[in-house]
Amino acid sequence: MTTSKFSFNILWVQVWALAAVQGAITLTWLIYNLYLPQLLAQFDFPASLAVGLLLVENALSAVLEPVMGGLSDESRRWVGTRFPFISVGVILASALFIAIPCVVSLIPLNIVLRSLLPIILVAWALAMTIFRSPAMCLLGMYSTPAELPLAVSFVTLVGGFIGAFRPIASKYILSLGPVLTFAIGSFALLGTTAVLRLVNPPETPVDRHNAEIVQFPLQKLVVILVTGFGVAWGIRFLMDVLGKVLKAQLNTDNIDVQMVWIGIAIALANIPAGIFAVKIGNRQAMLCGICATIASLLIIIFVGAQIPIILLIVAGFSLIVNGAIPFALALIPKRWVGLGIGMYFGGFALAMSLFNILFPQPQTISPFVGAVGGAMAFLLAGVCIAVSGISQPQSNA
């Protein structure tokens, strides 16, 4: 009975189409991060510029993600759909993505024209912020609020599975050459978005004259922003600690294969995480995940990366990441869901930008300091999630 209930209340075709879009987004960022140092080197830019570009891109994303999410709310209100933002953003991002290797390959190297490369790189990263929050808002149409964590789990599964291969992807992706690789990413983004547009159900126009006036949810938006910030720092510290502990435990500097398997395990764990969140409630599941992750961070320093500890990390991590979108959708009124999701992504990007500023040499962070920092970051996110439940006991999205 439970399976038929899920099947009835979730639009699976649309969810899988959105999961494919998330997979294409992950793939393009994977390609971009792998090729960025090589492309900059071809134009005689210093390797440090790659770090600077990522820092600037994250800082700009922290502002633009909420802006684009909020503008998509206005688009939904005035024209009845968010797809104008999604379509324009994807077309622009795809065109700029394929332009990146073309600039490097076709433009002669000189002082004036070489400045085009950083401009196009930043422009592409900004174009990617146009459609991510509006696209994730569609999940609210594809599932009932109670079963949203299960629907989201398939989206995070696809993105996480592709991202899991990042440690070993370089030798395969770089061997294809930049033009072909960037073309694959560009067409994957265009193709998956076209499929999503094709299967997206007709949307009900908003009756602006009879629509209920909804108070601007400033406090809830701040809670979502800080939650995204805490989760981002927690993840950054967690992966750093896990990598360093594994290297020390295995007495090797190459743990790529181990990290791939851990990434795959986290991706696959999103499905049971979604089912668990549906059973007990998403907010409670996220708090369970945060408690498990904090405990594993503090224990791993003393006992090492033992199998039970890694399993605890996988379980906790999946509950946190999988619950983020449902958390934002449930907390914010429908009128502002795009802004709410944008605030989460914005808080995440802001955290990554500040982390790179405050810790320019993360390799110098000791596992103990990283574990304490990660525990405090996750605790901050947990406090925000718990506080949100006091004034918002029932989903309204």
Q: How far apart are CA 301 and CA 187, in angstroms?
A: 44
Asked whether residue 356 is domain-assigned, the answer is: yes
Asked whether residue 218 is domain-assigned, the answer is: yes
Asked whether residue 260 is domain-assigned, the answer is: yes
Each as own residue / partner, the long-range contacts of residues 1-8 (CB below 8 Å, 24 or more positions apart, any chain) are: 5/147, 6/147, 6/150, 6/278
Q: How far apart are CA 388 and CA 393, in angstroms?
A: 8
Phi, psi of 165 (to 5 degrees): -90, 5
Q: Hey, what amino acid is at 172?
A: Y
Question: Number of folded domains in the chain?
Answer: 1
pLDDT digits (tens, 9 = 90+) for 362-386: 888 899 999 999 999 999 999 999 9
Q: Which domain holds residue 139?
A: 8-206+214-391
- Per-residue pLDDT tens digits of the chain, which is 397 residues long: 344 444 458 899 999 999 999 999 999 999 999 888 888 888 778 878 888 888 889 999 999 999 999 998 888 888 878 888 899 999 999 999 999 888 877 766 665 567 788 889 999 999 999 999 999 999 988 988 889 999 999 999 999 999 998 888 887 888 888 889 999 999 999 999 999 999 988 776 665 555 556 678 888 999 999 999 999 999 999 999 999 998 888 888 888 888 999 999 999 999 999 999 999 999 999 999 999 999 999 899 888 878 889 999 999 999 999 999 999 999 988 888 999 999 999 999 999 999 988 988 888 889 999 999 999 999 999 999 999 877 554 444 3
Collapsed DSSP state (helix, strand, coil) of residue 208: coil
Going by C-alpha positions, the residue among 73, 156, 79 that lies closest to residue 340 is: 73
Give the global pTM: 0.90
Q: Hey, what amino acid is at 328?
A: A
Alpha helices in the chain (DSSP H): 2-9, 12-42, 48-79, 83-106, 116-137, 139-142, 148-164, 166-173, 178-199, 218-250, 256-280, 282-303, 307-331, 337-358, 367-391
CB atoms inside a 10 Å sphere around CB 357 = 11
- Alpha carbons within 13 A on the beta-carbon side of 205: 6
Phi, psi of 80 (to 5 degrees): 85, 5
Residue in the structure block whose two tokens are 């701040």: 222
What's the CATH number where 135 sits?
Answer: 1.20.1250.20
Asked whether residue 253 is domain-assigned, the answer is: yes
Radius of gyration of the chain from Cα atoms? 21
Asked whether residue 2 is domain-assigned, the answer is: no
Name every residue whose Cβ is closer than 8 Å to that of residue 244 and which is 6 or more positions away in sequence. Answer: 367, 370
Asked whether residue 295 is domain-assigned, the answer is: yes
Asked whether residue 396 is domain-assigned, the answer is: no
Asked whether residue 54 is domain-assigned, the answer is: yes
pLDDT digits (tens, 9 = 90+) for 100-152: 888 877 766 665 567 788 889 999 999 999 999 999 999 988 988 889 999 99
